[in-house]
C-alpha cells in the first residue's frame, strides 16, 4: 500500500455489484462492534451507511460479481484509483451463486461430473471481480465472517499477509471436535473447501457447500468419489460442487480442454 493521508488513517471505500449486499451488512456489523477498527480507517464511500461519496480512497472493498459488460468500466476505474482492491465475499471472490445461472443447459454440466470434456463456456456470464481486474486479496465467504473481516483489515493496515487459511474446513471442524456429517449419513464439501469460517455449517449440522472456494490443489476427483460412495447421485454431486464454485469449475474445464 502506498501513501496514507495526512491524518494517518487510510481512506477506504465500499462498492457493490450483483450481490445480496449481505456482506456489506456484515461489514456494518463488524464496524459497530469493533470501534478500534472504525477509528483506524476513514470511510469515504459506503452506500449501506452514508450518502456522501469521496473518490480519494486507497483501499477498495468490492462486493458482488461482474454480470454485465457495463460493470467493467466501473471496475477499471476503481482499480485505477485504489492501491489495494479487496474482493468482499463469495460473489466477488468466486462469482458465487450468481454464476449458477451460467449452468445451463443442465445436460452439459452433467458431463463435468462424468469427467467428460465440455465446451459450454458461454458469452457474458457472471464472473468474479478477479476475472476483470487484478484483485489484491479476497475475503471469502457467503456472507463473509465478521471476525475474519476484522483480521484481514488489520493485516492490510499492518502490511502483513492476511491470515486467510489455505487449509480445508475439516481442520476447523475437527479442532472443534464435531461429529463428522459423513458419520451420520449427511454430505459435506469440507475436505476440499477453504477454512476460515470456523466450520460453521458442519457445526450446525449442515454440510459445507463451498462458499469460501476450494483449497489450493483440491483433490476434486476423490471428493466426487467420496460423495458418490456416501450415496449422492451424479446430479446431487454436481449441484453441491457448483453451488458457489460454478465459475471455477467451468474455468477448470476450459483449461483442461486447452491442454
Partner 1 sequence: MTSVYIPEMARLVGVEQMTATEKLFTIELPNGRSLGHDPGQFVMASVMGVGEAPVSVSSSPSRSNGVFELCVRQVGDVTNALHGMEPGGWIGVRGPFGNGFPVEKMRGKDLLFAPGGLGLAPLRSLINQVLDERGAFGRVIILCGARRPQELLFRDEVDEWVARDDVECLVTVDRGDDTWDGHVGVITTLFHQISVNPRNTVAATVGPPIMYRFVLMELLGKGIPESQIYLSLERRMRCGVGKCGHCQIHDLCCCQEGPVLTYAQSKGVEEAL
Partner 2 sequence: MSLMVLNKGAVGPLIEALMADYRVVGPQAKGPQFAFGTLTDPAQMRLDYNTTILPPKKVLQPQQERLASYSLGGKPSVEQIIEATPTVLFGIHTCDLHAVQLLDKAFSEEYPDAHYLARRDQTILVSLECLEPCDEHSFCKSMGTLTAGEGYDLHLTDLGLAYAVDVATEAGAQILSDYGSASEAGDGDVRRLNDVLGAKWPRFTYRLEFDAAELPALLSTAYDHPLWQELGDRCLACGSCTNVCPTCYCFNVYDETNMALTEGERVRRWDSCQLDEFARVAGGENFREARAARQRHRFMRKGRYIFEKFGELGCVGCGRCIRACVADINIVDGFNAIQRSA
> Which of partner 2, partner 1, ligand SF4, none lies near 28, with the C-beta cut-off 5 to 8 A by kind?
none
- Tell me, residue by residue from 137 to 166, as one string, x for binding to partner 1 by CB under 8 A and - for no binding: ---------------------xxxx-----
> Which of partner 1, partner 2, ligand SF4, none lies near 159, with the C-beta cut-off 5 to 8 A by kind?
partner 1
Residue 25 binds to partner 2 (criterion: CB under 8 A) = no
Residue 212 binds to ligand SF4 (criterion: CB under 6 A) = yes
From the list 31, 62, 211, 223, which residue makes contact with ligand SF4 (rule: CB under 6 A)?
Answer: 211
Pull the grid cell for residue 100: 449458477
The set of residues, in sequence order, having a beta carbon less than 8 Å from that of 226 and lying 6+ positions away, is: 182, 191
Angle at 94 between CA 189 and CA 40, to 5 degrees: 110
Alpha carbon distance 119, 159 (integer Å): 42
Which candidate, 242, 195, 197, places its Cα nearest to that of 220? Answer: 242
CA count, 13 A, side-chain hemisphere, 102 = 28
Pull the grid cell for residue 160: 502483513
> Which of ligand SF4, partner 2, partner 1, none lies near 200, with the C-beta cut-off 5 to 8 A by kind?
ligand SF4
Alpha carbon distance 132, 65 (integer Å): 10
> Which of partner 1, partner 2, ligand SF4, none lies near 217, with the C-beta cut-off 5 to 8 A by kind?
partner 2
- Are 179 and 59 in contact by the 8 Å Cβ rule? The answer is no
Closer Cβ to ligand SF4, 120 or 182, answer by number: 182
From the list 27, 82, 142, 223, which residue makes contact with partner 2 (rule: CB under 8 A)?
Answer: 223
> Which of partner 2, ligand SF4, partner 1, none lies near 161, with the C-beta cut-off 5 to 8 A by kind?
partner 1
- Tell me, residue by residue from 230 to 249, as one string, x for binding to partner 2 by CB under 8 A and - for no binding: x-------------------
Alpha carbon distance 137, 129 (integer Å): 11
- Are 37 and 57 in contact by the 8 Å Cβ rule? The answer is no
From the list 44, 103, 129, 170, which residue makes contact with ligand SF4 (rule: CB under 6 A)?
Answer: 170
* Interface with partner 2: number of residues (CB under 8 A): 37
- Report the length, in residues, of the chain: 259
CB of 175 to partner 2, least distance (A): 4
Within the chain, residue ranges assigned H as helices are 22-33, 35-40, 69-81, 89-94, 106-114, 146-158, 169-175, 200-203, 220-229, 234-258
> Which of partner 1, partner 2, ligand SF4, none lies near 91, with the C-beta cut-off 5 to 8 A by kind?
none
| Residues of the shown chain interacting with partner 2 in the complex, contacts defined by CB under 8 A | 34, 36-37, 40, 150, 154, 158, 163, 166-168, 170-171, 174-175, 177-180, 182-184, 190-192, 215-219, 221-223, 225-226, 229-230
Residues that bind partner 1 in the complex, under the rule CB under 8 A = 158-161
Amino acid at each position: 500500500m502506498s501513501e496514507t493521508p495526512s491524518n494517518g488513517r487510510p481512506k477506504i471505500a465500499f462498492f457493490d455489484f450483483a450481490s445480496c449486499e449481505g456482506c456489506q451488512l456484515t461489514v456494518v456489523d463488524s464496524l459497530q462492534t469493533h470501534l478500534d477498527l472504525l477509528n483506524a480507517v476513514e470511510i469515504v464511500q459506503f452506500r449501506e451507511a452514508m450518502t456522501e461519496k469521496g473518490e480519494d480512497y486507497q483501499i477498495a472493498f468490492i462486493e458482488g460479481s461482474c454480470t454485465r459488460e457495463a460493470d467493467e468500466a466501473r471496475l477499471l476505474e476503481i482499480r485505477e484509483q485504489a492501491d489495494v482492491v479487496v474482493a468482499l465475499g463469495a460473489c466477488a471472490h468466486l462469482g458465487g451463486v450468481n454464476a449458477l445461472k451460467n449452468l445451463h443447459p443442465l445436460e452439459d454440466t452433467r458431463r463435468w461430473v462424468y469427467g467428460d470434456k465440455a465446451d459450454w463456456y458461454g458469452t457474458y456470464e457472471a464472473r468474479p471481480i478477479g476475472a476483470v481486474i487484478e484483485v489484491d486479496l479476497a475475503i471469502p465467504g457467503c456472507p463473509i465472517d465478521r471476525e475474519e473481516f476484522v483480521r484481514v483489515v488489520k493485516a492490510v493496515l499492518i502490511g502483513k499477509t492476511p491470515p486467510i487459511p489455505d487449509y480445508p474446513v475439516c481442520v476447523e471442524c475437527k479442532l472443534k471436535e464435531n461429529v463428522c456429517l459423513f458419520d451420520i449419513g449427511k454430505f459435506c464439501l469440507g475436505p476440499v473447501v477453504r477454512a476460515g469460517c470456523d466450520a460453521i455449517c458442519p457445526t450446525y449440522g449442515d454440510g459445507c457447500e463451498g462458499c469460501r472456494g476450494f483449497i489450493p490443489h483440491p483433490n476434486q476427483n476423490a471428493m466426487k468419489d467420496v460423495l458418490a460412495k456416501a450415496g449422492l447421485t451424479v446430479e446431487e454431486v454436481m449441484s453441491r460442487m457448483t453451488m458457489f464454485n460454478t465459475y471455477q469449475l467451468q474455468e477448470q474445464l476450459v483449461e483442461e480442454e486447452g491442454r
